[in-house]
Amino acid sequence: MSLMERKTAEKKNKILNSALIVLAEKGYHGTTMEDIANHLLMTKGSLYYYFKGKQDLVFQSQIRILHQSMENVKAVNQEDLTIEEKLKRVIIKHIDYSLTEKAGFLLMINPAEIFSKEQLTEIYRLREAYAACYDKLIAAGVEAGFFDVEHIPVARNVLLGAMNWVTQWYSPEGALSKTAFAQLVTDYTIRIVKK
Amino acid sequence: MSLMERKTAEKKNKILNSALIVLAEKGYHGTTMEDIANHLLMTKGSLYYYFKGKQDLVFQSQIRILHQSMENVKAVNQEDLTIEEKLKRVIIKHIDYSLTEKAGFLLMINPAEIFSKEQLTEIYRLREAYAACYDKLIAAGVEAGFFDVEHIPVARNVLLGAMNWVTQWYSPEGALSKTAFAQLVTDYTIRIVKK
Amino acid sequence: MSLMERKTAEKKNKILNSALIVLAEKGYHGTTMEDIANHLLMTKGSLYYYFKGKQDLVFQSQIRILHQSMENVKAVNQEDLTIEEKLKRVIIKHIDYSLTEKAGFLLMINPAEIFSKEQLTEIYRLREAYAACYDKLIAAGVEAGFFDVEHIPVARNVLLGAMNWVTQWYSPEGALSKTAFAQLVTDYTIRIVKK
Amino acid sequence: MSLMERKTAEKKNKILNSALIVLAEKGYHGTTMEDIANHLLMTKGSLYYYFKGKQDLVFQSQIRILHQSMENVKAVNQEDLTIEEKLKRVIIKHIDYSLTEKAGFLLMINPAEIFSKEQLTEIYRLREAYAACYDKLIAAGVEAGFFDVEHIPVARNVLLGAMNWVTQWYSPEGALSKTAFAQLVTDYTIRIVKK
DNA sequence: CATGAATGAGCCTTCATTCAT
DNA sequence: AATGAATGAAGGCTCATTCAT
């Protein structure tokens, strides 16, 4: 990557970051391109130098989050832990990350309302890949006798629901730190698959 | 209530029904007043005779769903069942109802993006009342030795998450009926609080 | 047609008229919806109540002109005249009308730059029907020995060119009245096909 | 002219060529500075080193076409031909050239929509000079007994109309070559002034 | 009560133009 | 001489809302 390309990539990243922050506050439809630009001390028009439009900008922010989520899982998978510990760590990381990137996760909720067909295809592809990681862990846990799950996809979706909902009710004003909180939530969540 | 008042109330109800259907399809921002009017074979302007505006209309549809949810719980509470059976029934009903009124439940996800402060206060009040029902059931279950929960609000939120997320992944094309499906999901969900 | 429908039709007509006037002055791209609205003492938004958009509005103005042109020819055809007289009258009418609706005729010049594929198809269909009227007259004139034309479509296009170009150079400040002027131009134009 | 000046002039020329090509395809308003730059494998900004702006660029391309048209006529005038042959040759050349530089000729149609007052003055000046060439030929032809024209400017404009319109209906897919086609059209066009 | 019509504020997007490097 | 980046003005369009009838 040349110097210029790197600079552009960096700028794009900065924009995506700002976008995520503003989107977190106001939601997709409540956020205007001007809002995002203002947050960056830029002008509306400049955004179009880096992204094709609002949809594109938001889509890319979405993709980034999905990729990062995947990385999180992969990182845990390479640690030397029991299956159960692995799943717990994955859940904790997911919750932690979802609270950090609250914005992006909120957009995940109704993508069909926002994105184009092609974009949705890509999003669903990544989601499924992510879900597959959980399925594999659960299946391994069942094999190893740690878990007791007959319908893995159902259980996995219940699991993901319990996790994703956290963005709806976690309040940073609470007594617990984000990580302690995530730990606590995980304890209850893991029960969904436990023997 | 006079005849006229009753007629008006009935009409309001019809409008709310249509609104929920259209909102289910297109989401809050994707739904225009005209969409709702068309679905009722009325004209845009008429809606303003019954509701102050779009926000008001949607808010009231929201309230209705929350009330109905509460009624569902109350009905179960009056049945003669063990605590565990009661909780299971409540969960099943919730899932069933949330799939029926998918629209309303999707709006529940980010109300702050849509409603005014006063409206939000009311919504949160009803939500808390609803949550309290679950807390009571869980507490009773703990007392009775069925459940094992230390942090009831946390467990309850995990529970609600698992339940509410269902609207995100349930597909009516699947092999199971809505009720059978709800039963299956409940089996995994209930584990969150089980001993 | 009900009263209301007639009112709407009338309003549409008024809008088309204003549009043609403004378009005559500023051209398609130079004309904004606001320009047209201002000319009608309306607001931008109102136009969208009657037309789907700018393109639609202009397209319909175009269609109207083509239809009217056709009517003009048909009217002449029903008069009791020799072929040559008929052609002359048709040309005069065309010139007269094109100077009256200068705007619409200017848009005719590069429709592909403006309209959609479907719209172009319709425009070309009407144009061809119009051209066919000329071809028929010319053919009849050749038959009757008045005209001497081997390649009718070529001669017809040369004829139409001579006629259509008039909007480019006629100046109402000149000494001649529009009709006298049209008569004069016709005398030279008709030579294209004369024996 | 210094070397540098010559280089600049050459570059300007290249830009004008590309501009004409792109303009031919997309029209004035449909062509962006970026389109032109892309066609030259340059960047938008560079164009502003050579031209004051879009209008200027297009204006100069226009001027070039008018000059070239004039040159075409002068070349014919120096050939040793009868008046009628000369006029025919001039018409053929005009048609030929107008089909080659379709873009430029389309812009000629509504210059007032595009150019500034000063630019228009210059354009009209050149146009008149060009028209005068035709007038002279026609007058000479009348004198010599070849032509029969009372109102020379009128006939000339009819003539120019017949010629200029060709860009509207000539299709390169036709059976005839451009030159054969021009010859055929000329045969009908010349009749406008013939005795 | 209902409706056709009108409104105006706001948003996304485009693009000619500028400028530091 | 060239370019990447930024800008800002302008335009098309949508839609919640209002109102006379």
Per the prediction, chain B carries an average pLDDT of 92
Distance C26 CA to F11 C1' (A): 15
Which residues from chain D sit within 8 angstroms of residue C30, using beta carbons?
Answer: 113
Q: Determine, for residues C188 and D154 on separate chains, whether the beta-carbon distance falls below 8 Å.
A: yes
Phi, psi of A151 (to 5 degrees): -100, 90
Which residues from chain A sit within 8 angstroms of residue B154, using beta carbons?
Answer: 184-185, 188
Q: Which residues contact A165 (CB under 8 A, 6 or more apart)?
A: B157, B158, B160, B161, B162, B164, B165
- Condensed to tens digits (0 to 9), the pLDDT of residues A35-69 reads 999 999 999 999 999 999 999 999 999 999 999 99
Rounded to a whole number of angstroms, the distance from the CA of A22 to the nearest CA of chain B is 12
Interface probe for B, chosen from A110, A135, A157, A158 (most Cβ of B below 10 Å), is A158
The percent of residues in chain A predicted with pLDDT above 70, rounded, is 99
Q: Which residues contact C176 (CB under 8 A, 6 or more apart)?
A: C184
Neighbour count for residue C124 (Cβ, 10 Å):
12
Nearest partner of D84 among D163, D183, D194, judged by Cα: D194
Q: Above 80 in pLDDT, residue D107?
A: no
Q: What is the pLDDT of residue D27?
A: 84
Q: What is the pLDDT of residue C103?
A: 75
Interface membership of D109 toward C (CB under 8 Å)? yes
Q: What is the pLDDT of residue D194?
A: 94
Q: What SS3 state is found at C81? A: coil
Rounded to a whole number of angstroms, the distance from the CA of C170 to the nearest CA of chain D is 9
Per the prediction, chain D carries an average pLDDT of 92
Helices then strands, each counted (H, E), chain B? 10, 0
Interface probe for B, chosen from A165, A170, A183 (most Cβ of B below 10 Å), is A165
Those nucleotides of strand E lying less than 7 Å from any protein Cβ are 1-20
Q: What is the pLDDT of residue C56?
A: 97
Residues 112-141 of C with CB under 8 A from D: 113
- The C-alpha atoms of residue C134 and residue B172 are separated, in whole angstroms, by 63
Give the tokens for residue A100: 């950090």
Per the CB < 8 A criterion, the answer to whether B134 and B159 are in contact is yes
Sign of CA dihedral B41, B44, B47, B51: positive
Interface probe for A, chosen from B158, B170, B181, B193 (most Cβ of A below 10 Å), is B158
Q: Which residue has the higher pLDDT, D112 or B130?
A: B130
Write down the residue that tokens 């914005």 correspond to: A103
Give the tokens for residue A188: 């209850």
Q: Above 80 in pLDDT, residue D106?
A: no
Q: Which residues contact D66 (CB under 8 A, 6 or more apart)?
A: D123, D126, D127, D130
Q: What is the pLDDT of residue B26?
A: 84
Q: What is the pLDDT of residue A1?
A: 65
C43: the nucleotide nearest its CA (via C1') is: E7
Per the CB < 8 A criterion, the answer to whether C37 and C44 are in contact is yes
CA distances from residue A71 to A44, A122, A126, A128, A137 in whole angstroms, order as listed: 32, 17, 12, 14, 15
**What is the mean predicted confidence (pLDDT) over B104-109?**
77
Q: What is the pLDDT of residue C111?
A: 85
**What is the mean predicted confidence (pLDDT) over B10-27?**
90
Rounded to a whole number of angstroms, the distance from the CA of B93 to the nearest CA of chain A is 16
The percent of residues in chain D predicted with pLDDT above 90, rounded, is 75
Q: Could you list the protein residues whose CB lies below 7 A from any atom in strand E?
A: A 31-34, 44-45, 48, 52-55; B 4, 7-8, 11, 42-46, 48-50; C 4, 7-8, 11, 42-46, 48-50; D 31-34, 44-45, 48, 53-55
- The C-alpha atoms of residue A60 and residue C16 are separated, in whole angstroms, by 43
Which of B29, B158, B184 lies nearest to residue A162, judging by beta carbons? B158
Q: Above 90 in pLDDT, residue D175?
A: no
Nearest CA in chain D to C169: D157
**What is the mean predicted confidence (pLDDT) over B168-173?**
88
Domains and CATH numbers, chain D: 1-51 (1.10.10.60), 54-192 (1.10.357.10)
By C-alpha to C1' distance, E14 is nearest to: A45
Per the CB < 8 A criterion, the answer to whether A154 and B184 are in contact is yes
**A147: which DSSP letter?**
B
Which residues from chain D sit within 8 angstroms of residue C110, using beta carbons?
Answer: 27, 106, 109
Range from D93-102, D121-130, D185-194 carrying the lowest mean pLDDT: D93-102
- Condensed to tens digits (0 to 9), the pLDDT of residues A95-120 reads 999 988 887 887 787 788 889 999 99
By C-alpha to C1' distance, E2 is nearest to: B46
A41: the nucleotide nearest its CA (via C1') is: F6
Q: Above 80 in pLDDT, residue D1?
A: no
Q: What is the pLDDT of residue D129?
A: 96
Q: What is the pLDDT of residue D54?
A: 96
- The C-alpha atoms of residue B158 and residue A184 are separated, in whole angstroms, by 10
Q: What is the pLDDT of residue C95?
A: 95
**What is the mean predicted confidence (pLDDT) over A143-160?**
96
Q: What is the pLDDT of residue B177?
A: 86
Write down the residue that tokens 């970051």 correspond to: A17
pLDDT band for position D22 (50/70/90)?
A: very high
Q: Could you tell me the pTM of the whole model?
A: 0.89
Which residues from chain C sit within 8 angstroms of residue D124, using beta carbons?
Answer: none
A49: the nucleotide nearest its CA (via C1') is: F5
Q: Which residue has the higher pLDDT, B54 or C172?
A: B54
Q: What SS3 state is found at D194? A: strand
Q: Determine, for residues D159 and C157 on separate chains, whether the beta-carbon distance falls below 8 Å.
A: no
Per the prediction, chain A carries an average pLDDT of 93
**What is the mean predicted confidence (pLDDT) over D126-138?**
96
pLDDT band for position A189 (50/70/90)?
A: very high
The percent of residues in chain A predicted with pLDDT above 90, rounded, is 76
3-state secondary structure A82-101: CHHHHHHHHHHHHHHHHHHC
Rounded to a whole number of angstroms, the distance from the CA of A74 to the nearest CA of chain B is 24
Rounded to a whole number of angstroms, the distance from the CA of D68 to the nearest CA of chain C is 21
Q: Above 90 in pLDDT, residue B30?
A: no
- Condensed to tens digits (0 to 9), the pLDDT of residues A5-46 reads 889 999 999 999 999 999 988 888 889 999 999 999 999 999
A29: the nucleotide nearest its CA (via C1') is: E11
By C-alpha to C1' distance, E9 is nearest to: C45
Which of B30, B157, B184 lies nearest to residue A165, judging by beta carbons? B157
- The C-alpha atoms of residue B170 and residue C172 are separated, in whole angstroms, by 72
Q: Determine, for residues C106 and D106 on separate chains, whether the beta-carbon distance falls below 8 Å.
A: no
Interface membership of D99 toward C (CB under 8 Å)? no
Q: What is the pLDDT of residue C1?
A: 64
Q: Which residue has the higher pLDDT, A1 or B113?
A: B113
B47: the nucleotide nearest its CA (via C1') is: E2
Q: What is the pLDDT of residue B1?
A: 65
Q: Above 90 in pLDDT, residue D35?
A: yes
D44: the nucleotide nearest its CA (via C1') is: F3
3-state secondary structure D163-192: HHCHHHHCCCCCCCCHHHHHHHHHHHHHHH
Nearest CA in chain D to C184: D154
**What is the mean predicted confidence (pLDDT) over B94-109?**
83
Residue type, D186: T
Per the CB < 8 A criterion, the answer to whether D115 and D57 are in contact is no
| Chains near C (3 or more Cβ pairs under 8 Å) | D
Per the CB < 8 A criterion, the answer to whether A148 and B121 are in contact is no
Mean pLDDT for each 10-residue chunk of chain C (195 residues)?
A: 84 95 88 96 96 96 94 95 96 93 80 89 95 97 96 96 93 87 96 94
Strand partners, C194: C147
**What is the mean predicted confidence (pLDDT) over B5-25?**
90
Distance D45 CA to E19 C1' (A): 10
| Chains near D (3 or more Cβ pairs under 8 Å) | C
